[in-house]
Structure 1
Amino acid sequence: MQKLLTTFALACFSLSLQAQDLQAQISQKAAAILPEVIKWRRHLHQHPELSNREFKTAEYVTAHLRSLGITVQTGVAKTGVVGLLQGGKPGPVVALRADMDALPVQEKVDVPFKSTVTAEYLGQTVPVMHACGHDSHVAILMGTASVLAGMKKDITGTVKFIFQPAEEGPPGNEEGGAPLMVKEGVMDNPVVDAVFGLHISSAIEAGRIHYKPGAAMASSDWFTISIKGKQAHGSAPWNSIDPIVTGTQIINALQTIVSRQANIVEAPVVITVGKFHSGVRNNIIPEEALLEGTIRTLDSKMQQDVHQRIRRTAMQVGAAAGAEVKVTIDTKTLVTFNDSALVQRMVPSLQKAAGAGNVATMSWVTGAEDFSFYGTKAPAFFFYLGGMPKGADPRKAPGHHTPDFYIDDSMLDTGVKAFCNLVFDYGQALRAKK
């Protein structure tokens, strides 16, 4: 018995030394690749492409993956790229995702790699900028591929690199993004056992990682409320059914869903009307009005309940005014849900990457991410990586999707280390169970 215990202890000690050696290799290789990661990120920043139009970005990624000997599939969900790296030991399939698209935003930040690109968007010529940090996501995953390809023999299982287009939403009526990636089988052949993703943050200090178990980011629904009234001269409103007044009443009533109906102790709810179209002349009460907005919820049951309340509220306010009202709700993303068991198991991997003192939990975010669709196919974990210059005030950090968006890319290797540690630790944990 004593001999058996001694053998077991030696085996555990040997595994511990191997794990320490792998972690040291990851740190060294990530640090060595950092200059390249920064170079890739700045190249992509200077050459941004809009959703479903990431042709050059896809070529850039494909060339890099093939140079590493990684099997590559292109044209997934229009411009997506998927790489497959088979490790030296049998084990699970771990997917890592980066989004590639930029936004129709004109950059104001004066950096040497500033974007001056323009492109066509919905029939208009628009400026294009990586105003949400997807350039850094792509560069981090390219760096991760470099490190893991160099450690291939030590990997337990298979790594699937997902470079996804159109996270910001495909233009017009096109399909795209994570829903189309999933539809075209990115989580199959081979079947993914766990999927990880990250997002850079301009308001979290560089080198830090924040995460939240369970519901982490909101679902995103877009709604349209069309109101048909009766046109009349502005001097005789009693002859009209005024869609503008009805629309304002609907807007006010929608806010009572948040303030008086939804149980926001369970989860936050946001209802925002962002567009109000009506009228052509100042002395004519028009026949029609159109409201458009977004709904954010962090609970799927609450999401459906809010949908019903919006429909009922708008219809009844319209009926009271004598107007015809139609409500359309289009779900763009689901709640981004971090599998609690997976989070608990993998947080130590993030702590290895950033240091235990630099990893912290966060509150839920009412922004949305189509990464949520991957979580319908496998346990998922999505976390935030800091990109704010050290010592800066997060309250003054330029927001995402703004012309002033800026990140410090000097510590993007933290993201590379995080992804690499997640791959190794997940595979070894499953192997140890067996």
Structure 2
Amino acid sequence: MRRRLLAACVCLCCAPVAGAAETSVEGMIDARLAHITALRRDIHEHPELSNRETRTAKLIAGELKKLGYEVHTGIAHTGVIGVLKGGKPGPRLAIRADIDALPVTEEVDLPFASRAKGEYQGKQVGVMHACGHDVHAATTLGVASALASLRKDLPGEVMMIFQPAEEGAPPGEEGGAELMVEQGVFKDFKPDAVFGMHVTSSYHVGDVALRAGGIMASSDTFRMTVHGLQTHGATPWRGIDPIVAAADIVMAAQSIVSRRMDINKDPVVLTFGVFDGGQRFNIVPDRVSLQGTIRAFDTGMRDQALAELRQVAEHVAKAHGASIDMEVPTASGSNPVNFNDPALTERVRGSLQKVLGKDAVLEAKRWTAAEDFPLLGIGAKAPSVYFFVGGTPRDQDTDKVAFNHSPRFFVDEGALRTASEAMLQASLDFLGYAR
């Protein structure tokens, strides 16, 4: 049983706590848990869309300044970084938390539920932290506070990266991890490792999960236009129907993964998400637009899926007398595989087991979801480790609760403690801090 301080000892702010250097990781997080919770609720109640996280960024910068961090703002629009220099020589560590919310209207009955609105693709929409970035931001601030309290005896340096637009920049804008790297987030700070985490309903509260190698898939967005010949709907033989051609392309593409790829090697997903064509019920349109995504854990299989898709689309379109234009993403235009450095993963696994217990540290299943965290490790030319934090109450079935991005996505606040303790222990061990 892990040690817990009495609730009466809980500190109500993230300021450095007197005597923190003599306490355990659990004790340091206990002393900050009330404020971490308050921060999480505040950020959850006031979510902001990608590249619009102005209030969130201001809150984060203010917290870091109070803790004595060297703070830089306005990176990749609304990104914030805080640098803490320890009192002893040692390695450099970057810790990343994403801070943007989603265009989702919250349906969870919470006293701090979001009622926020925002503009998304020209429409007013509800805004919600439906992917747990509020948890990431708040717990990372808690870790920042604990590290600041140890500054005098802390080896090395730490950079806290609060990244906007992980969910993707609005159309026509740049953003996210790629833009942070382009704008020099690592110009004056070359980390020896990059850590990140993500809360998810896939695991129970109190548990964490990680694995060496690919933990999340690469993500590519493909766009295709099927060109036909417009005509009256009453005389389709006078034209070339791109709707029928596009429908056949979608159906034929379903055989790419199931019949053309060796999924014994690694999983691959090919999904169409947009089928857009036509203006009027009695007109065969001249074109149809298709969009979708390919997810993979192997670069060769990713390239094969894209090549097979182009081949299928071209031949099916030709059979209909139609033609296609297809935007094929380049390697630099996608989110790469989220790859956990094997040696560093085992070090982090040991840290997590130390603070949470062996039974609470699970072997993560590979997730065909994707994110831009690996671009930070690539940009820094440093190994990275990313782990999952469970958010589902212990008495609920993880297969039946609402998943991330749902309007009913719910995080048990016990995850705040787990995430904070896990990241703090992993950070202290990597830096070589000895109590």
TM-score calculated relative to the size of structure 2: 0.91
Give the distance between the partners of 1:113 and 1:94, measured in 2 at CA: 33
In the TM superposition, residue 305 of structure 1 has moved relative to its aligned partner by: 1.9
Does structure 1 residue 249 correspond to structure 2 residue 248?
yes
Secondary structure, aligned partner of 1:81: strand
In the TM superposition, residue 91 of structure 1 has moved relative to its aligned partner by: 1.1
Give the distance between the partners of 2:22 and 2:206, measured in 1 at CA: 17
Give the distance between the partners of 1:410 and 1:301, measured in 2 at CA: 40
Is residue 226–residue 290 contact of structure 1 (8 Å, CA) maintained in 2? yes
Secondary structure, aligned partner of 1:327: strand
1:337 pairs with one of 339, 354, 375 = 339
Give the distance between the partners of 2:388 and 2:58, measured in 1 at CA: 27
Q: In the TM superposition, what whole-angstrom CA distance separates every residue of 1:386-414 from its partner, at most 9, and x where no partner exists?
A: 11112211111111111101111134122
Does structure 1 residue 230 correspond to structure 2 residue 234?
no
Q: In the TM superposition, what whole-angstrom CA distance separates every residue of 1:215-245 from its partner, at most 9, and x where no partner exists?
A: 1101111111101111223333322211011
Secondary structure, aligned partner of 2:28: helix
1:393-412, aligned counterparts within 5 Å? 393-412=397-416
Counterpart residue identity of residue 38, structure 2: K
Give the distance between the partners of 1:340 and 1:397, measured in 2 at CA: 31
In the TM superposition, residue 154 of structure 1 has moved relative to its aligned partner by: 2.4
- The share of aligned pairs that are identical, in percent, is 45
In the TM superposition, residue 255 of structure 1 has moved relative to its aligned partner by: 1.2
Is residue 335–residue 371 contact of structure 2 (8 Å, CA) maintained in 1? yes
Give the distance between the partners of 1:75 and 1:418, measured in 2 at CA: 29
Counterpart residue identity of residue 78, structure 1: H
Does structure 1 residue 391 correspond to structure 2 residue 390?
no
User: Comparing 81-90 with 21-30, which one deviates more in the overlay?
Assistant: 21-30
In the TM superposition, residue 332 of structure 1 has moved relative to its aligned partner by: 3.5
In the TM superposition, residue 152 of structure 1 has moved relative to its aligned partner by: 1.2
1:214-363, aligned counterparts within 5 Å? 214-330=213-329, 331-363=333-365
Secondary structure, aligned partner of 1:42: helix
Is residue 21–residue 149 contact of structure 2 (8 Å, CA) maintained in 1? no
1:366 pairs with one of 362, 365, 368 = 368
Give the distance between the partners of 1:198 and 1:107, measured in 2 at CA: 23
Give the distance between the partners of 2:62 and 2:243, measured in 1 at CA: 54
In the TM superposition, residue 67 of structure 1 has moved relative to its aligned partner by: 0.3
Secondary structure, aligned partner of 1:365: coil
In the TM superposition, residue 24 of structure 1 has moved relative to its aligned partner by: 4.8
Is residue 74–residue 82 contact of structure 1 (8 Å, CA) maintained in 2? yes
Give the distance between the partners of 1:177 and 1:257, measured in 2 at CA: 31
In the TM superposition, residue 283 of structure 1 has moved relative to its aligned partner by: 2.6
In the TM superposition, residue 282 of structure 1 has moved relative to its aligned partner by: 2.4
Does structure 1 residue 422 correspond to structure 2 residue 421?
no
Give the distance between the partners of 2:21 and 2:384, measured in 1 at CA: 24
Is residue 229–residue 324 contact of structure 1 (8 Å, CA) maintained in 2? yes
Give the distance between the partners of 1:164 and 1:182, measured in 2 at CA: 11
Counterpart residue identity of residue 25, structure 2: I
Q: In the TM superposition, what whole-angstrom CA distance separates every residue of 1:95-128 from its partner, at most 9, and x where no partner exists?
A: 1000000011000111000111111122211111
User: Comparing 169-178 with 226-235, which one deviates more in the overlay?
Assistant: 226-235
Give the distance between the partners of 1:329 and 1:284, measured in 2 at CA: 30
What is residue 174 of structure 2 aligned with on the other side?
175
Q: In the TM superposition, what whole-angstrom CA distance separates every residue of 1:283-337 from its partner, at most 9, and x where no partner exists?
A: 3222111111111111122112222221222112112222120111344411111
Is residue 207–residue 412 contact of structure 1 (8 Å, CA) maintained in 2? no
Secondary structure, aligned partner of 1:403: coil
- Seen in structure 2, the aligned counterparts of structure 1 residues 266 and 24 have a Cα distance that, compared at 3 Å, is farther
User: Comparing 349-358 with 55-64, which one deviates more in the overlay?
Assistant: 349-358
Secondary structure, aligned partner of 1:85: strand
Q: In the TM superposition, what whole-angstrom CA distance separates every residue of 1:16-72 from its partner, at most 9, and x where no partner exists?
A: xxxxx9795222011111111111000000000000000010000000000011110
Secondary structure, aligned partner of 1:166: coil
Counterpart residue identity of residue 127, structure 2: V
Is residue 353–residue 414 contact of structure 1 (8 Å, CA) maintained in 2? no
Q: In the TM superposition, what whole-angstrom CA distance separates every residue of 1:246-274 from its partner, at most 9, and x where no partner exists?
A: 10111112111111111111111111111
What is residue 105 of structure 2 aligned with on the other side?
106
Secondary structure, aligned partner of 2:251: helix
What is residue 28 of structure 1 aligned with on the other side?
27
Give the distance between the partners of 2:189 and 2:280, measured in 1 at CA: 60
Give the distance between the partners of 1:411 and 1:83, measured in 2 at CA: 24
Secondary structure, aligned partner of 2:270: strand
Does structure 1 residue 192 correspond to structure 2 residue 196?
no
Counterpart residue identity of residue 385, structure 1: V
Secondary structure, aligned partner of 2:386: strand
Is residue 389–residue 415 contact of structure 2 (8 Å, CA) maintained in 1? no
In the TM superposition, residue 188 of structure 1 has moved relative to its aligned partner by: 3.4
Counterpart residue identity of residue 411, structure 2: I
Counterpart residue identity of residue 367, structure 2: V
Q: In the TM superposition, what whole-angstrom CA distance separates every residue of 1:135-164 from its partner, at most 9, and x where no partner exists?
A: 000000000011010011222210110000
Give the distance between the partners of 2:153 and 2:101, measured in 1 at CA: 35
Task: Provide structure 2 residue ranges, at least 5 long, that are not aligned to the other structure.
Answer: 1-19
Secondary structure, aligned partner of 1:368: coil
Give the distance between the partners of 2:186 and 2:308, measured in 1 at CA: 35
User: Comparing 97-106 with 219-228, which one deviates more in the overlay?
Assistant: 219-228
TM-score calculated relative to the size of structure 1: 0.92
What is residue 88 of structure 1 aligned with on the other side?
87
Give the distance between the partners of 1:154 and 1:304, measured in 2 at CA: 49
Q: In the TM superposition, what whole-angstrom CA distance separates every residue of 1:323-362 from its partner, at most 9, and x where no partner exists?
A: 1201113444111111111101221111123211100102
Counterpart residue identity of residue 99, structure 1: D
Give the distance between the partners of 1:203 and 1:111, measured in 2 at CA: 21
Count the aligned residue pairs. 410
Task: Provide structure 1 residue ranges, at least 5 long, that are not aligned to the other structure.
Answer: 1-20
Secondary structure, aligned partner of 1:266: coil
Is residue 336–residue 375 contact of structure 1 (8 Å, CA) maintained in 2? no
Does structure 1 residue 39 correspond to structure 2 residue 38?
yes
